[in-house]
Amino acid sequence: MRIKKYLVFILILGIFIVVIQSCEKDNYMVPPPAKIGKATSSLEAQFVNTAPLTLLSPYWKSADYLKVNAVDVSKNYLFGDGLLNMTGIFGGKSDWGTDPSLTLKAAYDSSNIYILAEWMDNDVNLSEASWLWNGPGDAKKADSTLKWTSQRNNDKIALAFEIQTASNANGNFSNVGCAASCHVNGNNSTMQPDAGKVDIWNWSLARSAPLGYLRDMVSDPTSFNDDAGQVSSTRNSSGATNRSGPAYEWDGTTQTVTLANGQNTILDPGFYLVNKTPFIGDMVRGDSIYHAANSCAHCHGEFGEGAEAAFINGIALNKKSRASLISAMDNNADMAPYWGVLGGADRDNLVAFIRGLSGVPGYVLSKPTGSCADISSVNNVTPIHVVNAMLPKNNVHTKYQVLIIRKLKTNNTDDAQFDLSVSKTFKFGVAIMNNDSRNHIGSPVETLTFK
C-alpha cells in the first residue's frame, strides 16, 4: 500500500518536473537569431507589405544596406560675392573629419519607394545664407563684410537619377552617374548635362527638411531648376544680390506647420521664417545709434558679442518678436538712459540692427505643391536639438537618419520614373554636404535594384 502510494507520488512528481521543464523550454527557449542586415554591393529594395513610414519601422532594423564609399565629388569651390562662410567642406573629405559612414537602405511597395540614409555628422547646421550686418570675414574670401552679407550654411543629402539618357564629356549617366551632369574639367558651376535630363532630390536642413519634403529638381542642358509647382523655399531678399538685405522678418506668431506626412510641428524662428512681416528699419541709422559714444556698444560690445552686459548677437534673440524685444528693453532699468530716450522710429532702427547681429533667416518657407511636392521625408533632427542651438556651430549631434519617400511613378515629365515593368535596376548618384552646398562628398554612380 505504502509502496503504491510512494510510486504514485514519484509518478506525479515526474509529470510535474516534465511539465515544468517544458514550460521552461517554452519560456526560455533561445529564439532563432534575429536577421541582421548585411552589406550588399547595390542598393537592394525589398518588396514590403507594410510601408516602413518611420525611422523606427521594424523593416529598417534588419534590412540589408549599401555602404557608400564616400569620395571627394567636388571640392575647393567658393560662392560668389556676398556669400561668406558657406563652404564647411571646402577641402572635401579631409574637412569632414571622421568618416561619415554613409549607408543606404531601401524598400518598395505597390506605390512608393522608401530610402533610408544614415551618416555621421557631429553638428547640425540649419541655416542658409542668413543676413548678417557687418558680419564676420571668411578666411577663404576677399569679400568686404561691410553692411549686409549672406552667411551660414546647412547640412544636406542629394540623390541623382536619370530621367532621359543623360551625358556629357565624362560619359553617360549609366556609366558615370551624376558625373554626367557636372564636374567637367573641374567646372561644376552648372551641374548640368550636355544632353538628356537628370532628377535631383535635395534634402536640405534649411530649405526642404523643416517641412518634411525634399527639394525636387531637374537638370538639363538649358537649366538646373526646381520642378513645376510651388517650391518649399524662396529667397528672403529685398533686392537682386546677396548684399541686398532681408525683405521679411518673423511676425511673432507661432509657426505651426503641417508636414508632408500630415503631422504638425512648430518651426523655430531662430532659424526658420514662415509667418512673416516686412523687415523694417534703417540699418545705417540703427548702427550709428548703437555705436554712439557711451551707448549700446559700450555695454554689449562692438558686434553685440558682449562686454559689460550680455551678448546680443545670438540666434536666441531671433526667437523674440520685435514687440517682445522692445518691451524687454523698455523694462530694463540699466538701459533707460540710452534706450528710453529714443523715439519710435529709432527703436525700430535699433531692433533692425540687432536682427542684423543675430542673422535674419535667408529663406522663407512655404508648403510645396505640384511636382515640387513629390518627395517627402522624415528625419531625426528633433525640435529639442533646434531649440538648444544658440549658435549655428554649437549644436552637438552624431548621426543623421533621413527617410525619403516617393511614388514609384509620378508621371511628371520632370521626374525619374521607376517603371518596374521596364527595368528593375536604376543607376543613381548620392552626395552629402556638411555646412556647405557647393562642395560635396559621396559616390557618383551606384545601382538601385528592385528585388
CB of residue 249 to ligand HEC, shortest distance in Å:
15
Binding site residues, ligand HEC, CB under 6 A: 290, 295-296, 298-300, 308-310, 312, 325, 328-329, 332, 334-335, 338-339, 350, 354
The cell numbers describing 145, all together, are: 563684410
Q: Which CB sits closer to ligand HEC, 11 or 336?
A: 336
The cell numbers describing 156, all together, are: 544636406
Q: Which CB sits closer to ligand HEC, 305 or 334?
A: 334
Which residues lie closer than 8 Å to 218 by C-beta, 6 or more apart?
A: 163, 197, 198, 199, 200, 224, 225, 226, 227, 414, 415
CB of residue 285 to ligand HEC, shortest distance in Å:
12
Q: Which CB sits closer to ligand HEC, 290 or 400?
A: 290
Q: Which CB sits closer to ligand HEC, 217 or 317?
A: 317
CB of residue 291 to ligand HEC, shortest distance in Å:
10
Q: How many CB atoms lie within 10 A of CB 307?
A: 13
The residue among 86, 88, 122, 127 whose CA lies nearest residue 268 is 127
Q: Which CB sits closer to ligand HEC, 331 or 382?
A: 331
Which is it for the CA torsion 33, 34, 39, 40, positive or negative?
Answer: positive
CB of residue 296 to ligand HEC, shortest distance in Å:
3
CB of residue 325 to ligand HEC, shortest distance in Å:
6
Q: Which CB sits closer to ligand HEC, 352 or 448?
A: 352
CB of residue 295 to ligand HEC, shortest distance in Å:
5
The residue among 287, 308, 182 whose CA lies nearest residue 245 is 287
Buried b or exposed e, range 139-174, using 16+ CB within 10 angstroms: eebebebebbbbbbbbbbbbbbbbbeebbbebebbe
Q: Which CB sits closer to ligand HEC, 306 or 370?
A: 306
The residue among 124, 58, 368 whose CA lies nearest residue 232 is 368
161-to-56, 66, 200, 362, 405 alpha-carbon distances in Å: 27, 17, 7, 29, 14
CB of residue 376 to ligand HEC, shortest distance in Å:
37
CB of residue 342 to ligand HEC, shortest distance in Å:
7
Q: Cα 201 to chain center, whole Å?
A: 12
Look up cell 542668413; give the residue. Answer: 130
Q: Which CB sits closer to ligand HEC, 120 or 299?
A: 299
**Pairing mode, strands 375-379 and 264-266:** unpaired
